Structure 1
Amino acid sequence: MLRLTESPTRQEALRFISDSASYGNLGAFIGAGFSKAVLNDEINEIALSWGELLEKASGKLGVDYGAISKTGVGYPEIATSICKLHAEHNRCDYTHSLSILKREIAALTSWYPDKEKREEFSKYLEILSPSWIITTNYDMVIESLLTGRSIPLGPNDSLSSPTGVIPVFHLHGLRTNPEEIIISQEDYVSLFRPSEYRQIKLALTIRESTTLLVGYGLGDVNVLTAIDWSKNVFKGGGATYPNDVIQVLRKDNPKEKPYRDKNGIIILETEEISEFFEEFIDVREVDLKEKDKERKDLEELAKKLDEPDGVMIEKFIDDEKFREEILTVLSKFNIHLISGFVSFLNKCIDETWTRSAPNGAFEGYNQNLKLILDILTSFPISRFPPALFQTAAYGLQRVGYYVGDEGGKSWSAKRTWEKRKKELSKEVVAELRSIADQHGYNYVERLAKTIDV
């Protein structure tokens, strides 16, 4: 499944997240609610929301937070008002006041989870297996949970990392570099410029991934802007990879069934973020066991294809059901199996030529042709492995001489061709004609001319 339905079940949504993790394009977009889940409990309120952080920083700067108008005003504008009031009261430049605010924000976000919470949420992030994490948090709680497995990146860094290391991109800046913190209205003006790397990268990353939102409100402007860009600015063909946006939303009375909101985001409600992760672990562990079995089965099949015995070769030629099963697996996992299969196919084709060697043994040519037609009808041209297509085309050229109803030809092969030639897609026929023209495959060209497309 490359995208969730309009109304998926909870299991389907959780399984989709797991499939994306296995594919390697699951990303996590983490907000302040995640830090709160890690750090806060009934006794301690260590992590703060954006509003709480500004209120506390305002007090540190000696500014009356209550005197600032907040009706219809966003937090960046409130931060700007704090700096203006501080500059007026202290008769200093606005930029100096902004710098002081940013340093206070950095100091106030010096949050570190205790051992118990670190072990619990480290396990959650480890089994989630995100390829990347983007956060609007200034704190380094995520890095504390992914010690040795992540790299913190600031807003002026590129979203990249060494192999095996998860990049944690702090969209609004890192507390370890206060001057880069994005908090005031003018900071946001530059952040949302159309040509700004961060905004473009964010939208592209969402478009190329399954994105899991954790710890955000439904109306977060950063998320909505990036999703809008990913859908409406960077347009292209249908995705060939898992791609959707799923939000884990904390509610006191969560709905069991997921739903899509007006922005097309799948909403998964949960009473606590930790409860969602426990749910996901149950699904992920089953999924991993299935994929481990699948991997072992593929390795076993790949080994058989690399070193086939005579029994397997004969079964592939003579048993249509067995051949169909192998080709179905091949079409689904051709990246893992194609190298060995090309060699295996050549051995099967060689066997049909051996069967054709005795005088009058024309059925071997028919068996040869059936193998090639089965190959040519197993893949759309867009996903046809080039080496396999060349092998099939060359095989068709060799056997093409014997496809006919005159003396010395295989009449059964002729009947097979007439019966099955319409199964070939027009794209495959066009490619056969191209390869015939380029390589001088005259018998392929002759057969292709009998097909009306």
Structure 2
Amino acid sequence: MNYSEYMSDIISDIKECLNELGTQPVLFIGSGLSKRYFNAPNWIELLEQLQKECPYIPHEVGYYLQDGVSLEEVGSEYTNYYRKWAWENRDKFPNELFDASIPKSSYIKFMIASILDSITPDSIDSVQSEHHRTEIELLQEIQPHAIITTNYDLFIENIFTDYQSIIGQRILKPDTMSIGEIFKIHGSTSEFKDLVFNKEDYEIFLKKKKYLSAKLLTFFAEHPLVFIGYSANDKNIQRILSDIDEIISTDGDLIPNIYFLEYNKNITENDIPPREKVLFINNKEVRIKYIETKNFDWVYEAFSANKAWDNVHPKLLRALLARTYKLVRSDIPRRSVEVDFDIIEKAVSDEQSLPKLYGVAMLDDPSQLNLQYPYNLTQIGQQLGYSNWHSANRLIESIQRNKGINIKETDNKYHILIKTGKTEMHKYSKHTLELLDAVDKGEEYKLEL
């Protein structure tokens, strides 16, 4: 076996997992992704840069690490130096940060946001490496159900522009819809004062971590979960995986839907990396699937095998869920809307009826669409012996005058409207051809919508 065969096995396993669960992947993204695509600093590098920016900090990061001080505690130490520097050099920070109600950590967090925002690409086109731009396009093609990240920077938002950011503690609110959202569990530079950065921040975060894990449990149980840009030794990841193991109770068995993607620049064609990773967390074994690679493109491509969201904007799905949630949670109990419960009961008991209630047409096999509706209106006209679409359209208008029904206004057995972005395309079935042929010949006809 060689690395090519290893890749083939991994791809087959990913596709099998996607087919088995029937859901889109959830991406768990760490700082390694930002490091890969625009050389963003990792945690130690960020602390080192913060130390260089502030003349009041007497020691480099290594000085504290030699004494066994944690990175969170170094962050707390630097926080105090930044506050002293800011109050004695107020021109270097925004005036609003000097209000008495502002947390003392706001000064160093302002600097963190400034550093990251200054180097974060605002689009794929701003990424320097052509190979990396191709990888990012393949990452987009995954069309993840949701994204979870501990990153502060806005890079993910800039490449998944239709997704909605849910920042910090707002993740715990009940009205988050989960689909098409970016859960920024450690905060964002867009709201820098709430970044999880120093020891005090992490203590608060850890108190609420179990609530966060419970909130995200459905992701872990129902979707392929892909960790990208993390080290297996990352404490944040180990804490999350520990919660998963505790909730799901794997008892050391392989968790079949969790993949850990790790970069190895030294991979060669003769290498055969391990297929699993065993982590020892809280004296327990947690086994997850492991992918080791130099190039991420083939992995992203494998996870994009299910194109469930083609031509559907995540924003639309969120709006649909949000309105349904409000309807069930508040409007109906408060009787602020009139409800026909018979219609709802029939709809929820039938897989085909509920989508129709929302105005959604179900198509089990999208490839069958052209077989069911093979014609545009010009082709219909040509099949009837005319040279263009106008004559066919006049026959449709004749039906509307006689029957009061315009077959082009809805999706039905004769017609379907396909929307691709801002483009709309009307397609017609063989039933349309038979119907318009009868109208053209002056024969009796019956509409069956």
Relative to the length of structure 1, the TM-score reads 0.52
Q: 1:256 aligns with which of 272, 280, 291?
A: 272
- Is contact 1:151–1:167 with CA below 8 Å preserved after alignment? yes
Cα distance, 1:259 vs structure 2: 2.4
Q: For residues 170 and 66 of structure 1, do their structure 2 counterparts lie closer, same or farther at Cα, with a shift above 3 Å needed?
A: same
Question: What CA distance in whole angstroms lies between the structure 2 residues aligned with 1:195 and 1:170?
Answer: 13
User: Any gaps of 5 or more consecutive residues in structure 2?
Assistant: 89-99, 280-286, 309-362, 373-449
**CA 1:194 to 1:76, structure 2 compared with 1: closer, same or farther past 3 Å?**
same
Letter in 1 for 2:58: D
Q: Which amino acid in 1 is paired with 2:238?
A: L
- Structure 1 counterpart of 2:91: none
Q: Distance in 2 between matches of 1:19 and 1:155?
A: 34
Return the alpha-carbon distance in structure 1 between the equivalents of residues 141 and 157 of structure 2: 16
Gapped regions of structure 1 (runs ≥ 5): 1-7, 41-46, 304-453
Going from structure 1 to structure 2, the CA distance change for 1:140 and 1:285 (only over 3 Å counts) comes to: closer
1:144 matched residue in structure 2: 158
Paired with 1:106 and 1:89, the residues of 2 have a C-alpha distance of 17
Q: How far apart, CA to CA, are the structure 1 residues paired with 2:231 and 2:60?
A: 24
Checking the alignment, whether the CA contact within 8 Å between 1:245 and 1:266 is kept in structure 2 is: yes
The answer on 1:167 being equivalent to 2:178 is no
Offset of residue 210 of structure 1? 1.9
- Further displaced range: 97-106 or 83-92: 83-92
- Structure 2 counterpart of 1:180: 194
Aligned pair in 2 of structure 1 residues 102, 91: CA closer, same or farther (>3 Å)?
closer
1:270 to 275, 293, 311: 293
Match runs of 1:8-407 below 5 Å: 9-21=6-18, 23-40=22-39, 47-62=40-55, 63-66=57-60, 68-71=63-66, 72-87=68-83, 96-110=103-117, 111-112=120-121, 113=123, 115=125, 117=127, 120-147=134-161, 149-158=162-171, 166-193=180-207, 196-203=210-217, 205-235=219-249, 243-254=256-267, 255-263=271-279, 264-271=287-294, 275-281=295-301, 283=302, 296=365
CA contact 1:143–1:152 (8 Å) conserved in 2: yes
SS at match of 1:225: helix
Work out the CA distance in 1 between the residues paired with 2:201 and 2:103.
14
Q: What is the alpha-carbon distance in structure 1 between the residues aligned to residue 145 and residue 260 of structure 2?
A: 17
Shift of residue 201, structure 1, vs aligned partner: 2.6
TM, length-normalised to structure 2: 0.53
Give the Cα–Cα distance (whole angstroms) in 2 for the partners of residues 297 and 105 of structure 1.
Answer: 46
Matched residues in 1 for 2:10 and 2:166: separation? 30
Identity %: 20
Distance of aligned partners of 1:188 and 1:157 in 2 relative to their CA distance in 1, 3 Å threshold: same
| Cα distance in 2, alignment partners of residues 221 and 154 from structure 1 | 20
Summarize deviations over 1:255-291 as a string: whole Å, max 9, x none. 43442222212221112xxx2223542x4677779xx
Write the deviation string for residues 164-197 of structure 1: whole angstroms up to 9, x where unpaired.
Answer: x621111110100011110011111111115653
Secondary structure at 1:261 match in 2: strand
- For the structure 1 residues 204 and 223, does the alpha-carbon distance in structure 2 shift closer, same or farther, using more than 3 Å as the test? farther
| CA distance in structure 2 between the partners assigned to 1:146 and 1:297 by the alignment | 24
- The RMSD of aligned alpha carbons is 3.8
Q: How has the CA–CA distance of structure 1 residues 246 and 236 changed in structure 2, closer, same or farther, with 3 Å as cutoff?
A: closer
Q: Which structure has more RCO (C-alpha within 8 Å, separation ≥ 6)?
A: 2
After superposition, give the CA deviation of every residue in 1:329-385 in whole Å (9 maximum; x if it has no partner).
xxxxxxxxxxxxxxxxxxxxxxxxxxxxxxxxxxxxxxxxxxxxxxxxxxxxxxxxx
The 3-state SS of whatever aligns with 2:231 is coil
Residue 444 of structure 2 aligns with which residue? none
Asked if 1 retains the 8 angstrom alpha-carbon contact of 2:149 and 2:183, the reply is: yes
CA–CA separation in structure 1 for the residues paired with 2:211 and 2:304: 37
Q: Provide closer, same or farther for how the CA distance between residues 208 and 186 of structure 1 changes in structure 2, counting only shifts above 3 A.
A: farther
Contact 1:25/1:131, CA 8 A, preserved across alignment: yes
Q: Tell me if the contact between 1:61 and 1:101 (Cα under 8 Å) persists in the aligned partners.
A: no
User: Whose helix proportion is higher, 1 or 2?
Assistant: 1
Structure 1 residue identity aligned to 2:10: A
Preserved CA contact (<8 Å) 2:149 2:184: yes
Contact 2:228-2:261 within 8 A present in 1 as well: yes
Q: CA deviation at 1:211?
A: 1.2
Higher strand fraction (1 or 2): 2
Contact 1:135–1:170 (CA under 8 A) maintained in structure 2: yes
Distance (Å, rounded) in 1 between the aligned partners of 2:292 and 2:101: 42
CA distance in 2 between counterparts of 1:270 and 1:59 reads: 34
**Cα 1:215/1:54, change in 2 over 3 Å:** same
Which amino acid is 2:296 matched to? F
Residues 246 and 235 (structure 1), Cα distance of their counterparts in 2 relative to 1, 3 Å cut: same
Give me the whole-angstrom Cα distance separating, in 1, the residues matched to 2:60 and 2:204.
Answer: 28
How far apart in 2 are the matches of 1:122 and 1:195? 30
DSSP 3-state at the match of 2:262: strand
Cα distance in 2, alignment partners of residues 287 and 171 from structure 1: 27
State the distance in 2 between where 1:17 and 1:25 align: 12
